[in-house]
């Protein structure tokens, strides 16, 4: 009787007798210890796994201290077809975002600096002056440092502005979730949920539906896949419960849940 073996989260080798994460097994190919996601310390799971994969790609072990404890994967232990590292998955998602939103323009939509003025109940003259500060012509030209600083701006964008800046914030999150302490990541997930609060707030939901309705099916599918990636690999760097809420309430209909 064949025993089902599961791929190691670090190297992909099928060496685990129980599904990860949380089997407490050590992969003999990379020496990654498969702890539950909430038991990594002092480096959180989201950073530890990404770094371990990069180290394995370089030296053949998840950490330099285990270089003499590992062995090559046997033929039957090779990673399953389609297995990819976190960096590979993140890069592919960013390419999909770039393609899906390639033709999106801001037009007359609210800009990031203009959103700040709206937050402060500024005048029309102040809004117009603020718009002049956003000189980007394409969403992928929005500076990373501006995205990191404008964590509250998403809540004050109209539907056109949200569609324009959504791929910029989503792409930035995929690249920086394990290295940035900006609240922009949480704000993005908050605004991707229909009902992020326990209590009913119909205004937020109606605003969200108007925003989401501007996206094409392909764009919505990319957002769904990005959220599933964050849920699967980015705890606790991101609020995975909020990301799952966004999936459950809207986006999950656009892409299948991963097989368990």
**pLDDT band with cut points at 50, 70 and 90 for residue 202:** confident
126 burial level (CB within 10 Å; 0-12, 13-18, 19+): middle
What pTM did the predictor assign? 0.93
Q: Say if residues 167 and 223 touch (Cβ distance below 8 Å).
A: no
What mean pLDDT is reported for the chain?
A: 95
CA distance 52 to 29: 12
Query: What would the two tokens of residue 152 be?
Result: 């509250």
**pLDDT band with cut points at 50, 70 and 90 for residue 167:** very high
Mean pLDDT of 123-150: 96
């Amino acid at each position: 009787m064949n025993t089902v073996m599961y791929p190691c989260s670090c190297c992909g080798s099928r060496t685990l007798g129980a599904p990860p994460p949380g089997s407490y097994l050590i992969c003999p190919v990379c020496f990654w210890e498969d702890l539950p996601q909430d038991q990594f310390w002092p480096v959180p799971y989201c950073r530890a796994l990404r770094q371990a994969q990069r180290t394995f790609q370089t030296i053949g072990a998840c950490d330099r201290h285990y270089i003499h404890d590992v062995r090559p994967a046997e033929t039957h232990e090779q990673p399953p077809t389609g297995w990819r590292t976190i960096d590979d998955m993140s890069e592919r998602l960013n390419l999909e975002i770039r393609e899906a939103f390639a033709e999106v323009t801001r037009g007359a939509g609210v800009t990031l600096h203009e959103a700040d003025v709206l937050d402060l109940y500024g005048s029309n003259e102040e809004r117009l002056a603020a718009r002049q500060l956003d000189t980007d012509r394409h969403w992928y030209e929005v500076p990373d440092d501006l995205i990191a600083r404008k964590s509250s701006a998403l809540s004050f964008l109209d539907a056109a502005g949200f569609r324009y800046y959504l791929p910029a914030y989503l792409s930035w999150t995929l690249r920086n979730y394990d290295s940035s302490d900006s609240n922009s990541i949480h704000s993005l997930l908050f605004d991707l949920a229909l009902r992020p609060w326990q209590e009913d707030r119909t205004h937020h939901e109606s605003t969200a539906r108007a925003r989401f309705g501007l996206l094409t099916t392909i764009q919505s599918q990319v957002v769904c896949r990005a959220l599933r990636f964050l849920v699967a690999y980015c705890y606790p760097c991101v609020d995975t419960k909020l990301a799952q809420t966004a999936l459950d309430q809207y986006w999950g209909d656009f892409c299948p849940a991963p097989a368990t």
